Structure 1
Amino acid sequence: MSSNEKPLFPVPLHGTKANTLIWTDPYTIDIETAAQIRMMSRVPWVEQIRIMPDVHWGNGATVGSVIAMKDAVAPAAVGVDIGCGMAAVNTGLRLESLPDDLHSLRLAFEEVVPVGRAGHKKAAPILKQDQQLSNLATETFRDFSRLHADLPFGQLKTMRAQCGSLGGGNHFIELCSDDHGEIWLMLHSGSRNIGKVLAEYHMHKAAKLEHNLTLEDRSMSVFISGTGEMDAYLHDLYWAQDYARLNRAIMLATLKNALLKVLPQANFGQEIQCHHNYVAQETHGGVDVIVTRKGAIRAGSGDLGLIPGSMGTGSFIVRGLGNEASLCSASHGAGRRMSRSEARRIYSASDLAAQTAGVECRKDAGIVDEIPAAYKDLDEVIAAQTQEHSPLVEVVARLTTLLCVKG
């Protein structure tokens, strides 16, 4: 292949088992991440691995990985933010209907949705107004007592208070315009502290099991089908996935109300919801497998998904094409190209302000690690998944970021 030719994806990654295919140029994957993928491919229960173009190193397992296991599941292949994902809704507004200055709207969003480590005083106020959400929350909170993990009572209070809150890191709330000037409200969040607590509890438990003691890397320890340990993990994990979805639903409803107070002509329409750190029991190639997507979305035929970039690059709404070669998956975002510590070392608040020019958002040193330059090129990530040879998704719309709230 000449230097001017672009690879036709998927391609193998040298040094992995034949069960591993990737949708990115292997020479762009850093040494540490490539070594982690190779290690994952050698875990005995792994049937297939698919690597998305937003790939980067992750704790325990690679971010941007889709792992199909036979009769086993690895908690690290889901990650600590169980059920993390995206939600978006068309507001019925148009670009020309927005005020020229969105600062007051950003403050309104930040006032009603706690960010960072914060939560509500007791429970999200919207639950007193929305009976359907209230019923769902009551059911979810009640099922907390049925979790298998041995959790302190204080976790119940924290879990209730944080349901309907954003969190920190790369979690965000955005107001965006699409190709036709229509305005979308979008957010990215997961299962908050309770998801992390549950994940770490079960990871620690798995690492002590005898069948994992000889693994090359015990961070990829697994639970085996037919055991009480696996049943307990899946029970707790599915609860956390439901909690994460409820968390996003509460925030979306809260933000709709806040937007209506400023722009009462909003008329909310189509909603899109998708997990990108989760487990699903699926059949691929005629084999029943347990699929973990860590930094990847399901892209089954017709599935609508959201692939965000960064604070300055916007996002994409996509429709899955059901590509079995990818285990019906696609990327969850642009993916980081540098660590948070490296971004803070290289860039300043003034760099952040320059790279987010035109976006209503914080521009202080506290979120420099989320600077657009810390992320991969979103257009290249999308191009790798829409190429004619083996496409994963088709683009429905590109979203341009107008306002962004970070934790």
Structure 2
Amino acid sequence: MQELMPQVRGWVQGLEIEPAALSQLRNISKLPILAGPMAVMPDVHMGIGATVGSVIPTKAAVIPSAVGVDIGCGMLAARTQLRAEDLPTSLAKLRAQIERDIPVGFDAHKDMPRVKSIGLEGMKLDQRRVALEDRFQKLKIREYLGRFEESRLWKQCGTLGGGNHFIEVCLDEDGSVWLMLHSGSRNIGKTIGECAINLAKDQARELQRNLPDRDLAWLDEGTPQFEAYIEAMLWAQDYAALNRDIMFVLLRAAAEKALGRPIQITFESVNCHHNFTTVEEHFGERMWITRKGAVRAQAGQFGIIPGSMGTRSYIVRGKGNPMSYCSCSHGAGRRMSRGEAKRLFDLEALKAQTEGVECRKDGGVLDEIPAAYKDIDQVMAAQAELVDVMHTLKQVLCIKG
């Protein structure tokens, strides 16, 4: 652990922090609502308002932009009974089947995905969806949202989205096959997040708060806006988890179809958020802990830390380090912007860096080239105090949103 500046401690040894990210950390560290020092993860990089790869403790207030607009974004991974030798030489057919069955990018299902037909697991997921529908109708934040296409909400449940969201088939250190995916709350999470950010800015103007960055405006406990946001944010987290669970059922079904064999899960799936806020107790005090690009890593708790589309990912177990508020990084973290990646690299570099991986190798994913991300080995070394590595995964197939 290093003291990066007053009220900011980090696990970033051997890793560079961009000046813009340091400026954001400095801005947050001076907020009067801070309940203790921030914790900075080794994948730290500039975000909107708040820095990605940061853990922010606050008292009686929450910063909506620190949670972000992909509320509940996170990972799901599970080990199967399949071995490396069970996979065909070419995984093109498997990739094509997954891409047919799970919408990516801006695409959505033509109707709500019918997972009820996929056995008992599918029926349970459908019951969760119905319960979420009922809760959504009662959300207080609806009065602030304005008009939006509600049917889109459910057609997007069980879809990947774009950006750095992905689906992967991986091999672990023993040659076992894992299925892994990364996604969040889709457009409804974005809608809720943007609405809350605007509510916080409006409140800051009304109260004439002197903010170093307007995106760091917060909502105070006890106000109608705060209560509406927290209720909606918790709902969006549950929606994001359901989105991943439905996608996983569709992913497993697609793999069974393409490989012509049943797939059993031999390691209980890990489903963890990395953009969220929750009330926790640390150092004897109740506080809001906002993890923006960070994973909860309580003692014994499993998490997932992905690399990039050409490097390793890790299944980890938390050490419960109190100084990090029991947290760890959510990935490798970008070391350059998407625009810079496109300027510096070409398709030949992309092909070379994703050699051996069945994936797109075109201009549409050039901004996700592995070299645009920090060295995952350095990231893992920097947080040895926070987690133990349980499994090391290397992807053989990657589908990017």
Q: TM-score, normalised by structure 2?
A: 0.95
Cα distance in 1 for residues equivalent to 2:346 and 2:44: 25
Find the partner of 2:74 among 69, 82, 85: 85
* 1:341-373 deviations in Å (ceiling 9; x for gaps): 111111112211111000000000011000000
Which residue in the other structure is 1:35 paired with? 23
Query: 1:154 Cα deviation (Å)?
Result: 4.1
Candidates 378, 385, 398, aligned match of 1:380: 378
* Matches of 1:236 and 1:316, distance apart in 2: 31
Residues 315, 26 of structure 1: CA spacing in aligned structure 2 closer, same or farther, 3 A cutoff?
closer
CA deviations over 1:287-311 (Å, ceiling 9, x no partner): 1000000000000001100000000
Q: Structure 1 190/356 Cα, relative in aligned 2: closer, same or farther at 3 Å?
A: same
Instruction: Pick from 236, 243, 246 the counterpart of residue 242 of structure 2.
Output: 246
Aligned-residue offset at 1:142 = 2.2
The answer to whether the 8 Å contact 2:78/2:270 transfers is yes
Conservation of the 8 A alpha-carbon contact between 1:81 and 1:192: yes
Instruction: Detail structure 1 runs of 4+ shifted over 6 Å in the superposition.
Output: none
Kept in 1, the 8 Å contact 2:101–2:254? The answer is yes
**Distance in 2, Cα, partners of 1:127 & 1:336:** 38
Amino acid at match of 2:265: F
CA offset at residue 254 of structure 1?
0.6
Aligned runs of 1:308-327 on 2, under 5 Å?
Answer: 308-327=306-325
2:158 match: secondary structure: coil
> Which amino acid is 2:297 matched to?
A
The 10-residue stretch of structure 1 (154-163 or 100-109) with the greater mean CA deviation from structure 2: 154-163
The residue correspondences of 1:315-394 to structure 2 (distance < 5 A) are 315-386=313-384, 391-394=385-388
Where does structure 2 lack aligned partners over 5 or more consecutive residues? none
Quote the offset at 1:383 in angstroms: 0.4
Q: What is the letter of the counterpart of residue 251 of structure 1?
A: M
* Structure 2 counterpart of 1:5: none
Q: Is there any run of 5+ residues in structure 1 with no aligned partner, and where?
A: 1-9
Q: CA contact under 8 A between 1:206 and 1:212: conserved in structure 2? A: no
2:4 matched residue in structure 1: 13
**TM-score with structure 1 setting the length:** 0.94
1:397 aligns with 2:386: no
* Counterpart in the other structure of 2:265: 268
Q: Distance between the aligned counterparts of 2:39 and 2:113, measured in 1?
A: 38
Give distance in 2, aligned partners of 1:399 and 1:127: 31
Q: Does 1:146 align with 2:115?
A: no
Q: Which deviations, in whole Å up to 9, do the C-alpha atoms of 1:250-305 show, x marking residues without a partner?
A: 00011111112233142123211100000111000001000000000000001100
Q: Is the counterpart of residue 291 in structure 1 residue 282 in structure 2?
A: no
Aligned mates of 2:14, 2:290 — CA distance in 1: 22
Deviation per CA, 1:45-64: give whole Å up to 9, x if none.
Answer: 01231000000000111000
C-alpha distance 328-228 of structure 1, shift in aligned 2 (>3 A): same
Say if 1:277 and 1:176 are closer, same or farther in 2 by CA, change over 3 A.
same
Rounded Cα–Cα distance in structure 1 between residues aligned with 2:313 and 2:137: 38
Matched to 1:104, the amino acid is K
Asked if 2 retains the 8 angstrom alpha-carbon contact of 1:115 and 1:166, the reply is: yes
Output the CA distance in 1 between the equivalents of 2:156 and 2:208.
Answer: 34
* Range 116-125 or range 320-329, more displaced: 116-125
Question: The residue matched to 1:68 in structure 2 has which SS?
Answer: strand
Moved more, 360-369 or 143-152: 143-152
Percent identity of equivalent pairs: 48
Work out which of the residue numbers 187, 196, 217 in structure 2 matches 1:202.
196
Please say if residues 52 and 64 of structure 1, whose CA atoms lie closer than 8 Å, have aligned partners that are also in contact.
yes
Query: CA contact under 8 A between 1:54 and 1:64: conserved in structure 2?
Result: yes
Structure 2 counterpart of 1:182: 176
| Amino acid aligned to 1:255 | L
Using the alignment, how far apart are the partners of 1:208 and 1:152 within structure 2? 16
SS of 1:186's equivalent in the other structure is strand
Shift of the alpha carbon at 1:156?
1.1
Aligned-pair Cα RMSD in Å: 1.3
What is the DSSP-based 3-state SS (H/G/I as helix, E as strand, rest coil) of the residue aligned with 1:266?
coil
Question: Is this contact kept in 2: 1:189–1:248, CA < 8 A?
Answer: yes
